[in-house]
Amino acid sequence: MTDNPSTMQGSINHNNPLQGDCENCFGLCCVSLPYSASVDFAEDKHAGQPCSNLQADFRCGIHDSLRKKGFRGCTVYDCFGAGQKVSNHTFGGKHWRQSPDNAQQMFEVFPIMWELQELLWYLAEAMRLESAHPIRHDLRQAYDETERLTLLHADELIKLEVSAHRAMVNALLLQTSELVRARAASGQAQKSRKPQKKYGRGADLMGAKLRGASLLGANLRGAYLIAADLRDADLRSADLIGADFRDTDIRGADLTDSLFLTQVQLNAAKGDAHTKLPPTLYRPTHWAN
């Protein structure tokens, strides 16, 4: 999966350490991660086995036709900068072909770094929010600690209990969500007395008909939105962390200041030129005009 969404479908910012940069990575996602033949992948691949499309220069041989060749899963993936950090910091620029004795360790470190970099991305997003001001100090401390962990030696990273650290970070992200959504709810209450339907974490909304729905400040954390119809829906200030956007129709939807929306989620969805996005994300080229 050497081509992440940033490289394949939009402009990449090489100065952004939280965005995958395939040009400075040793194709780690194309080797480290497993996948099975499905609608997203044309074949099976085991963890530690190089993808059949990975070339000697660590580039993808079907970069421009991943979807046509049955590798849609590659186009909706991003490592949040884990690839270049493992390649150039953790292992000092020595790739797995160059140092076969370190190859297995490199492949084991990559998914751990991926988790940590993802947490950094969410924390960075949270610190940018005005409503999160009351806990910004705590968010900054969590960010600095997470960054420190990413700089550990490979041996230390493998032993790291990421789940415990993730739980601590998630508690802060939940507080951020509550602060932002409470403010949105307050503003909504002043405009309308009509109660908004509430959804719990992990709500099953697969195939749901929500066209034009007001989901302002909704809690959609971990929601299953697969193939849901969210055309023209209002998703401002909605918490979308971990929501499954595979084939979700968000044409014309307003996601301008939705919470924790990632490029990966957008790439998995179906949007168009009328879909309103946060300024930090871009419109995938495979979307309708």
Chain center to CA of 154: 23
Q: List the domain range (segments joined by +) for residue 23.
A: 5-176
Q: Which of 125, 141, 176 is the last residue of a domain?
A: 176
User: Is 186 part of any domain?
Assistant: no
User: Is 192 part of any domain?
Assistant: no
- pLDDT computed for residue 187 by the predictor: 65
- Looking at the structure, tell me whether residues 133 and 236 fall in a common domain: no
- Looking at the structure, tell me whether residues 106 and 26 fall in a common domain: yes
- Looking at the structure, tell me whether residues 205 and 143 fall in a common domain: no
Is the pTM here over 0.75, yes or no? yes
User: Is 166 part of any domain?
Assistant: yes
The tokens describing 267, both together, are 């790439």
Chain center to CA of 157: 21
CB atoms within 10 A of CB 62: 19
- pLDDT computed for residue 242 by the predictor: 95
At 19-71, the pLDDT tens digits run 889 899 999 999 999 999 999 999 999 999 999 999 999 999 998 899 899 99
Phi, psi of 240, rounded to the nearest 5 degrees: -115, 15
CATH number at residue 254: 2.160.20.80
- Looking at the structure, tell me whether residues 10 and 151 fall in a common domain: yes
User: Is 155 part of any domain?
Assistant: yes
User: Is 243 part of any domain?
Assistant: yes
Q: Which of 176, 209, 243 is the last residue of a domain?
A: 176
- Looking at the structure, tell me whether residues 240 and 281 fall in a common domain: yes
- pLDDT computed for residue 191 by the predictor: 56
- Looking at the structure, tell me whether residues 116 and 157 fall in a common domain: yes
Phi, psi of 178, rounded to the nearest 5 degrees: -65, -40
At 180-195, the pLDDT tens digits run 999 888 766 445 545 5
- Looking at the structure, tell me whether residues 211 and 264 fall in a common domain: yes
- Looking at the structure, tell me whether residues 11 and 61 fall in a common domain: yes
Per the structure, how many domains does the chain have? 2
Segments of the chain with pLDDT less than 70 = 1-15, 187-197
- Looking at the structure, tell me whether residues 169 and 114 fall in a common domain: yes
- Looking at the structure, tell me whether residues 255 and 217 fall in a common domain: yes
User: Is 183 part of any domain?
Assistant: no
User: Is 106 part of any domain?
Assistant: yes
- Looking at the structure, tell me whether residues 113 and 20 fall in a common domain: yes
- Looking at the structure, tell me whether residues 168 and 231 fall in a common domain: no
Residue type, position 155, single letter: D
pLDDT, mean over the chain: 90
User: Is 271 part of any domain?
Assistant: yes
